[in-house]
Structure 1
Amino acid sequence: MAGLLKWLVLTMGGVCAAIGIVHLALGIDSVPGEGAAGATVDSRERFYGAIFLGYGLAWIRAARQSPIPATAVRWLAFVLLLGGIGRLLVHGRPRPAALVPGRPDGHRIRAAASVLLALGRRRKGAV
């Protein structure tokens, strides 16, 4: 079980870091439909890319520790959960339909909630 958790946490970190690198390098060209946006939006996109790269590196750092610190993984999953909730809010309206499997953005909420629930069952500070 610890090997599977390590693989999942490491994969999460690698994917997030890769997404961050792409957004940092390409700016608004990494977002479909944003090609007409100006320098301000491009700058913001690259800034968010750098933050996402750091977020991915934090996941990788957690995966490389032995035992994997459950508190760190909980906080990282909580940040993902907050991001997913933010994506659900469109024009001030929550979109509960996004929680349905197969809907866009619902995977972020389900993934983060699954990690938090699984780790919530453990009482120790590391897994």
Structure 2
Amino acid sequence: MWLAVFGVLMIGIALAHFLFGQVTYIGGGEVNATMDSDLRFLNVLFVAYGAAFVWASRDVVGRAREINVLGLLFFVGAIGRVLAWILSGAPTPFYVAMLIVEFVIPVVHYFALRMLTTSSPAGAPASG
């Protein structure tokens, strides 16, 4: 259930950014037409990312590898935020908090999936 909710949340955030543009970025300020175009384009990919979580939530054990790949992408995105922080300065406190979430969620998913795929009910073989 959590992965489906997480995916729907990603889709909602991405659609808000896609439809309403830079005003949906906390502390984002003004952007030029090129950046607006790029941000809206990339949010289509964010919708697909959320949809992939919804898809994966239908068979968590069978799609554990895909869920971990999605988590890795989220984690690498957090590394991108750190790079931006180093090169461009500190973001708003909201994005600092998001950085923590983006580093923690993939790790939690990984270990939760590992427990699900290596444990089995009494007498049943482990899935995965």
TM-score (norm 1): 0.75
Are 1:91 and 2:86 counterparts? Answer: yes
Whether the 8 Å contact between 2:61 and 2:127 is mirrored in structure 1 is no
Matched, 1:71 2:28: no
SS of 1:37's equivalent?
A: coil
Distance in structure 1 (CA, Å) of the matches to 2:57 and 2:15: 20
Relative distance call for 1:20 and 1:68 in structure 2 (3 A) is farther
Asked if 2 retains the 8 angstrom alpha-carbon contact of 1:78 and 1:116, the reply is: no
Q: Decide which structure has the larger Cα Rg and report it.
A: 2
CA deviation after TM superposition for structure 1 residue 125, in Å: 6.1
What is the CA-CA distance between 1:33 and the residue it aligns to?
3.8
User: Structure 1 regions of 5+ residues with no counterpart?
Assistant: 1-6, 96-102
Alignment identity in percent? 24
Q: How many residues align?
A: 113
Structure 2 residues not aligned, in runs of 5+ = 91-95, 119-125
The answer to which structure has the higher helix fraction is 2
Match of 2:19 in 1: 25
Using the size of structure 2 for normalisation, the TM-score is 0.75
User: C-alpha distance in 2, partners of 1:11/1:77?
Assistant: 15
Structure 1 moving runs of 4+ over 3 Å:
32-35, 65-68, 120-126
Please tell me the residue identity of whatever aligns with 2:65.
Answer: T
Amino acid at match of 1:20: A
Matched residues in 2 for 1:74 and 1:19: separation?
21
